[in-house]
Amino acid sequence: MKKHLGQPFLTIVRPVRCSAKSSLPDPYRARSGCPGAKRVVTFVRGDPGKKIELPIELDGARILCVQGTEVFSA
Protein backbone atom coordinates (compact mmCIF):
# COMPACT_ATOMS: atom_id res chain seq x y z
CA MET A 1 0.00 0.00 0.00
CA LYS A 2 2.79 2.39 0.79
CA LYS A 3 4.32 1.87 -2.65
CA HIS A 4 1.07 2.45 -4.54
CA LEU A 5 -0.87 4.80 -2.24
CA GLY A 6 1.91 6.73 -0.53
CA GLN A 7 1.23 5.48 2.99
CA PRO A 8 0.33 2.27 4.78
CA PHE A 9 -2.97 1.85 6.60
CA LEU A 10 -4.82 -0.89 8.44
CA THR A 11 -6.77 -3.21 6.16
CA ILE A 12 -8.94 -6.12 7.21
CA VAL A 13 -9.88 -8.68 4.59
CA ARG A 14 -12.43 -11.34 5.46
CA PRO A 15 -15.06 -13.36 3.60
CA VAL A 16 -18.59 -11.95 3.51
CA ARG A 17 -19.80 -15.12 5.28
CA CYS A 18 -17.74 -14.09 8.33
CA SER A 19 -19.66 -10.85 8.75
CA ALA A 20 -21.09 -10.34 12.22
CA LYS A 21 -24.47 -10.01 10.52
CA SER A 22 -24.06 -13.06 8.26
CA SER A 23 -27.65 -14.16 8.92
CA LEU A 24 -28.92 -11.03 7.13
CA PRO A 25 -29.40 -10.92 3.34
CA ASP A 26 -26.44 -10.02 1.12
CA PRO A 27 -26.42 -6.18 1.13
CA TYR A 28 -24.89 -6.11 -2.37
CA ARG A 29 -27.49 -8.26 -4.09
CA ALA A 30 -29.36 -6.14 -6.65
CA ARG A 31 -28.37 -2.85 -4.95
CA SER A 32 -25.02 -1.82 -6.38
CA GLY A 33 -26.37 -0.93 -9.84
CA CYS A 34 -22.99 -1.91 -11.28
CA PRO A 35 -22.14 -5.62 -11.40
CA GLY A 36 -18.38 -4.95 -11.68
CA ALA A 37 -18.23 -2.57 -8.71
CA LYS A 38 -15.65 -3.17 -6.00
CA ARG A 39 -17.31 -4.15 -2.73
CA VAL A 40 -16.10 -2.39 0.40
CA VAL A 41 -17.08 -2.93 4.03
CA THR A 42 -16.13 -0.23 6.53
CA PHE A 43 -16.15 -1.09 10.23
CA VAL A 44 -17.13 1.76 12.53
CA ARG A 45 -16.49 1.86 16.28
CA GLY A 46 -20.11 2.18 17.31
CA ASP A 47 -23.62 2.11 15.95
CA PRO A 48 -24.15 5.35 13.98
CA GLY A 49 -27.32 5.92 16.00
CA LYS A 50 -29.46 7.84 13.57
CA LYS A 51 -31.04 6.57 10.39
CA ILE A 52 -29.84 8.06 7.11
CA GLU A 53 -31.53 7.88 3.74
CA LEU A 54 -29.67 5.41 1.52
CA PRO A 55 -28.15 4.99 -0.93
CA ILE A 56 -25.75 7.92 -0.72
CA GLU A 57 -23.65 8.46 -3.84
CA LEU A 58 -20.58 10.64 -4.46
CA ASP A 59 -18.07 10.48 -7.32
CA GLY A 60 -19.24 7.01 -8.39
CA ALA A 61 -19.05 5.48 -4.90
CA ARG A 62 -22.31 4.48 -3.25
CA ILE A 63 -23.11 3.62 0.38
CA LEU A 64 -25.68 0.87 0.05
CA CYS A 65 -26.45 -0.37 3.52
CA VAL A 66 -25.58 0.03 7.20
CA GLN A 67 -25.91 -3.06 9.40
CA GLY A 68 -24.92 -2.31 12.99
CA THR A 69 -21.27 -1.27 12.88
CA GLU A 70 -20.68 -2.37 9.27
CA VAL A 71 -21.13 0.04 6.32
CA PHE A 72 -21.43 -1.61 2.90
CA SER A 73 -20.46 0.40 -0.18
CA ALA A 74 -19.63 -0.19 -3.82
Range of the domain at 48: 1-74
Q: Could you tell me the pTM of the whole model?
A: 0.62
What tens-digit pLDDT sequence spans the chain (74 residues)?
788 889 888 887 767 666 555 555 677 776 656 667 888 888 888 777 778 888 899 998 889 888 888 888 98
Q: How far is CA 22 from the centre of its chain?
A: 14
What pLDDT score was predicted for residue 20?
A: 55
pLDDT in tens, 19-29: 555 555 677 77
Burial group, residue 19, by CB count within 10 angstroms (0-12, 13-18, 19+): middle
Q: How many domains does the chain have?
A: 1
